Chains A and B, each alone.
Chain A
């Protein structure tokens, strides 16, 4: 089986992102309103039994499209700050003057960044001050 260097995956990702950004810019030809929105929050991770938790901060740009109140294009940059997760592991010794094993404190710091393009579809309350929306992100 042919082996690809690690840079090849990044190159493939960059090609996909370039296409997605081009599509999003094309869709932005009819922009009527731009919002800048800082935000903050908290998250838990379901892929590690809820052990990893993070504090969020980020900023998003919302591009409201002309002729509709239902749709907005979103570009979002987010930084997730790690909250330490502590657990225990075993360390071993071959020195007869020491016990065979002892506890080792293990600390995991899960952090992440994300850059995403998304779409907001307003579902309820479009003509009121209280709007419920569904958002779909990718990238």
Chain B
């Protein structure tokens, strides 16, 4: 489940000017899918990994500003270290 918030703000002379039909901050919550490829190196007390992940946008109501922005479909690169906490 993915929650996305796209915050929008403007800087301009608000006393003398107006923006016609400004974009508003948008929030969406929905289900998503993602797939990844990963390389993992094992060590005596854990394992290190690097991973490339592609995800779909969340399945949620469409955003009102298609010419400005859409829900995100990220391609991410992550690295981490896995520590064993339970062994049977």
Which residues of A line the B interface, CB within 8 A? 9-10, 13, 16-17, 31-48, 51-52, 54, 56, 58, 60, 62, 66, 80, 82, 89-93, 95, 98, 101-116, 118, 120, 129-139
Cβ contacts under 8 Å, A38 to chain B: 80-81
From B38, B60, B79, give the contact of A41 (CB < 8 A): B79
Instruction: With both chains docked as a complex, state the minimum distance between the C-beta of B30 and any C-beta of chain A, in angstroms.
Output: 7
From B20, B35, B49, give the contact of A92 (CB < 8 A): B20
Are the C-beta atoms of B88 and A33 separated by less than 8 Å? Answer: yes
Number of A-B contacts (CB under 8 A): 209
- Take A80-B74, A102-B12, A135-B35 as given contacts and tell me if A111 and B87 are in contact as well, using a CB distance cutoff of 8 Å: no
Instruction: With both chains docked as a complex, state the minimum distance between the C-beta of B70 and any C-beta of chain A, in angstroms.
Output: 5
Q: Is the interface of A mostly helix, strand, loop or mixed?
A: strand
Q: How far is the CA of A136 from the CA of B23 in the complex (A)?
A: 34
Are the C-beta atoms of B16 and A136 separated by less than 8 Å? Answer: no
